[in-house]
Amino acid sequence: MFWKELSPEEERVIVRGGTEPPFSGEYTDHFEEGTYICRRCGAPLYRSEDKFHSGCGWPSFDDEIPGAIKRRPDPDGRRTEISCASCGAHLGHVFTGEGFTPKNVRHCVNSISLRFLPAAERIVLGGGCFWCTEAVFRRVPGVISVTPGYAGGFVPHPTYSQVCEGSTGHAEVVLVEFDPRQVSLREILEVFFACHDPTSLNRQGNDVGTQYRSIILCSSDLQREEVEAIVREVSRRFDRPLMTEVELLKDFYPAEDCHFRYFERYPDQPYCRLVIAEKLRSLSGLLG
């Protein structure tokens, strides 16, 4: 995590919980496709598809990137304050019941608390337990967000217990959003093939089952062509055939909240300490 040096006005809002004047922020009427990140630490907070025009004078969103926002009662005793879950930067307030959108939620955010990144590229990757793959890709420079979830199967809106039973067809995966100006698709896949054994069928270490299979789910036909070319090249480095499936993404279902940032929240849990921490150490040359 980086911490940007703040101007006096940024510090007034972000650190001391102030509010910028209405209709004065650069993102109030901004609707370009991309991702809004924390101005202080760079953590991804909101996606452009969740932004709407409320007429309130500040940027409005009806959803957040899972795990990105913390809520707490405002000192005024009437409102709910929202802040960056990564660094605690003050963002604004969240309101419900106003009826602006079907989600019936409005995150009222100060523009000065945000920075905007143009549209990111997305790819879904499965290489064993998503606690591990999430921890790995959160450390890749140029990656904007990593969302653990389920994909590749046939059961809509599966639960973790259903996927673990192996009856849904889904794999444990991560949705990786990255800025192609900072990290290429090839570099993303280099990390992917380094962080698991792609020659192992339906197994990674002690995790056994189709939910742990090696799989790449592409967001477009063009991306799939590029992925398939890279996979053919990578396969020459291995003594055994790759078991990695390459398909077009149909549906992605985010995992339950308890699985987000699992390694960060439970570093002393045995799997985190013995498996994930060791994996991160072995990949230190590829990660930031």
Please compute, for residue 181, the number of CA atoms within 13 A of its CA located in the half-sphere on the CB side.
4
Question: Any bridge partners for residue 116, and if so which?
Answer: 36
Q: Which sign does the torsion angle of CA 279, 282, 285, 288 carry?
A: positive
Structural contact between residues 188 and 176, judged by C-beta atoms closer than 8 angstroms: yes
- Catalytic residue check, 87: no
**What is the residue type of 120?**
A
Q: Quickly list H helices, 80-237.
A: 130-137, 160-165, 185-194, 221-235
Structural contact between residues 276 and 263, judged by C-beta atoms closer than 8 angstroms: yes
- Catalytic residue check, 108: yes
Tokens for 69?
A: 């926002």
Helix, strand, coil: what percent of the chain each, to 5?
25, 30, 45
Pick the catalytic residue: 108, 195, 218, 272?
Answer: 108
* E strand or H helix that includes residue 85: none
Burial label, 218 (beta-carbon count in 10 A; 0-12, 13-18, 19+) = buried
DSSP state, 25? S
Pick the catalytic residue: 38, 129, 132, 218?
Answer: 129
The owner of tokens 């932004």 is 51
The phi and psi torsions of 15 (rounded to 5 degrees) equal: -95, -45
Beta strands 245-248 and 214-218, pairing class: parallel
Beta strands 90-96 and 105-109, pairing class: antiparallel
Catalytic residues: 108, 129
